[in-house]
Amino acid sequence: MSDGAIAELAKRRGFFSQTAEPYGGVAGLYTYGPQGAALKDNIEAAWRELFVTREGHMEISAPDVLPGAVFEASGHLETFDDAIVECPECSGSHRADHLVEDATDLEDAEALSPERIGELIADREAGCPVCGTALADQPVEKFNLMFETNIGPGSGSPGYLRPETAQGIFVDFPQFAEYARNQLPFGVAQIGDAYRNEISPRKGLLRLRALVQAELEHFFDPDRDEPPLERVADVKLPLYAADAQRTGGGVRSLTVRAAVEEGAVEPWVAYYLGRSLEWYDEIGVDMDRFRYRQHRSEELSHYAADCWDAEAEVEGDWIELTGFAYRGSYDLEKHAAGTGEEYSVFRQYEEPVTVERPTVDPDMSELGPAFGSDAAAIAAALEELVERDPDAFDDERVVVEAGGDRHEVPVEHAGFAVEEVTESGEHVPPHVVEPSFGIDRLVYTVLAHGYSEDTVDGEERAYLAVPPAVAPTTVGVLPLMDRDGLAERARTVAEQLRAAGIAVAYDDSGSIGRRYRRQDEIGTPFCVTVDYESLEEETVTVRDRDTTAQRRIRTDGLAETLRSLRDGDRSFEEL
């Protein structure tokens, strides 16, 4: 495949193109044309069929704009950033880690500190990609990637376009837990737009400022809930572990069972790695150019205890398609602290139990005169401490932090006691595993992996060998010629197939060979040709895209035949 073949095909045949090109375009913003929108919709439908329908999870749709307090609690305001360096000559802004990757053998400079990135820019004498000016003396700084806005008039209610769809799920977790009848485990899925103010977007759909994510947040009790590993136990995973990356090792092929038994992958993460592997193959990802790569400790996101990326080799680079993150209870704890609400699931005991519970009842008549304006904060700190570390009250005085200072409080003034209480259940803080799929990158990968060239009847042919289930159009209906009633009969066939729920393209322009090539190039898996025999015998010719083989089929069973071919229930060779 020549450089730029996908981009050229995408624009010419209506898969995608840069947005607002008459106004000069905007980097990182792309519009899907009719073929691309259909391909994207089919990939989303395939994702939904697996992660919502087959897995039995609920699907929601949260808004694209959320209050700033949500992202302050989640940590995005502090940590969702990239390294930026500006050119002193042309004022261009560039991803500093990308400049390092282009000048070195490093594959993931994003994990490095801004100081280290600056050192490498100086060592390699990296220059501005636009004007060539040396950047060795320019500061490397952090740039937050979120788009800021205001909710309502004025600036009193700041908001942000979501950089991931996940927070729309986490922030309303208490409501979703009620929908799940407080029964763990359960999952909440969402497909939607996310926005990242990328410093220097590049490579078409691979790095966007407006992107589509398909995310699942699977909530479970880490002490009780185990994944149904028997479903995927024998699936072989191509694992590129963090240790292998450090030592120069390669990809290991382990079954899900073996990966869990040797502790290489957390069980719930392993389950979804196995569950997803066949899905990637079904939508057209080349499994010979696919791996699961574990994040090294220095590149883990602020919320992740572990993460594996599904990666595909595209045009010489390994790109992330999906992140499978073990988020623990990080997000729910942060939103519980930010709102004061309960972000847990109440689990009812079979029978009430009596337990000893340490408690405090701060004596404000003593704390007020002793600590003044800090008294209320000290009382709250005592209540938090007794839950976390009741042994701290064993001595005569207990130390707490409040108002930025350490305070010693007599235990008798804290009102410490151990009481017997009867409990009917307990609050369980769920843990979360998150498979997060980048739909745009999947679209690009399916195009790149499906793009093929061969020779048919002495002519070179370019075609997209994408699976029929995700192809933008299932069948092209073509009259052999536009005369003698063939076109009218072909239009009738096309209308009947559309009525049966099959995506159809009708084309009567140019020679039949040229029309075949047009359908091949956009990935249409089958073509139906209406010829003179069709008028006499109520039959048509069905042509296979990949092999160009043809079969004669009766029109009264055509829709059923095409559906079975599209859905994989039947192969073309079986016709």
The radius of gyration of the chain from alpha carbons, rounded to an integer in Å, stands at: 29
Quote the pLDDT of residue 241.
97
CB 496 within 8 A of CB 445: no
Yes or no: say if 190 and 215 are a contact pair by the CB < 8 Å rule.
Answer: yes
546 falls within a domain: yes
Overall number of domains in the chain? 3
Amino acid 111 reads: A
Task: Please give the backbone phi and psi of residue 93, each rounded to the nearest 5 degrees, phi first.
Answer: -105, 135
pLDDT score at 202: 81
Residue 117 domain flag? yes
The answer to the question of residue 221 being in a domain is yes
Same domain, 400 and 511: no
The answer to whether 386 and 368 have CB atoms below 8 angstroms apart is: no
- Shared-domain flag, residues 401 and 547: no
Closest CA to 170 of 411, 419, 430: 430
| CATH number reported for the structural domain that contains residue 480 in this entry | 3.40.50.800
Residues 203 and 264 in one domain: yes
Q: Are residues 71 and 170 in the same domain?
A: yes
pLDDT of the residue at 240: 98
Same domain, 132 and 216: yes
Predicted pLDDT at 2: 56
> Is residue 22 domain-resident?
no
pTM recorded for the entire structure: 0.88
| E-state strands within 221-271 | 236-240, 252-255
First CA to last CA distance, the chain: 32
Question: What is the pLDDT at residue 106?
Answer: 83
The structure tokens 């006499």 sit at 536
Write out the DSSP string of 59-103.
Answer: E----SEEEHHHHHHHTHHHH-EEEEEE-TTT--EEEHHHHHHHH
484 in the same domain as 415: no
Both 326 and 354 in one domain: the answer is no
Phi first, then psi: what are they for 426, rounded to 5°? -145, 155
pLDDT at residue number 1: 57
DSSP secondary-structure letter at 570?
S
State the pLDDT at residue 3: 53
pLDDT by residue, tens only, the chain of 575 residues:
555 789 899 999 999 999 999 999 999 999 999 999 999 999 999 999 999 999 999 999 999 999 999 999 999 999 899 999 999 999 999 999 999 998 998 877 888 889 999 999 999 999 999 999 999 989 999 999 999 999 999 888 999 999 999 999 999 999 999 999 999 999 999 999 999 999 989 888 999 999 999 999 999 999 999 999 999 999 999 999 999 999 999 999 999 999 999 999 999 999 999 999 999 999 999 999 999 999 998 888 888 889 999 999 999 999 999 999 999 999 999 999 999 999 999 988 888 888 888 999 999 999 999 999 899 999 999 999 998 899 999 999 999 998 789 999 999 999 999 988 888 788 889 999 999 999 999 999 999 999 999 999 888 999 999 999 999 999 999 999 989 999 999 999 999 999 999 999 999 999 999 999 999 999 999 999 999 999 999 999 999 999 999 999 999 999 999 999 999 999 999 98
- Is position 8 within any domain? no
Do 413 and 479 reside in the same domain of the chain?
Answer: no
Q: Please provide the DSSP assignment of 446-505 as one string.
A: HHHHHEEEEEETTEEEEEE---TTT-S-SEEEEESSSSTTHHHHHHHHHHHHHHTT--EE
Q: Could you give the CA distance from residue 88 to residue 81 in angstroms, rounded to a whole number?
A: 22
Decide if 165 is inside a domain: yes
pLDDT of residue 349: 85
Q: What angle, rounded to 10 degrees, do the helices at 267-283 and 34-48 form?
A: 140
State the Cα–Cα distance between residues 396 and 409, nearest whole angstrom.
9
The pLDDT of residue 305 is 86
pLDDT score recorded for residue 168: 96
- For CA atoms 297, 270, 187, 224, the dihedral sign is negative
- Determine the Cα angle at 211 with ends 207 and 216, to 5°: 115
81 and 172, same domain (yes or no): yes
Is residue 499 a part of any domain in this protein? yes
**What's the domain range around 395?**
349-425
Looking at 438, 464, 489, the residue that finishes a domain is 438
Are residues 310 and 401 located together in one domain of the fold? no
In DSSP terms, which residues pair with 158 in a beta bridge?
150
Mark whether 223 and 182 lie in a shared domain.
Answer: yes
- Structural domain includes residue 224: yes
| Secondary structure (H, E, C), 180-226 | CCCCCCEEEEEEEEEECCCCCCCCHHHCCCEEEEEEEEEEECCCCCC
Same domain, 194 and 292: yes
Of 294, 249, 251, 247, the closest CA to residue 270 belongs to 294
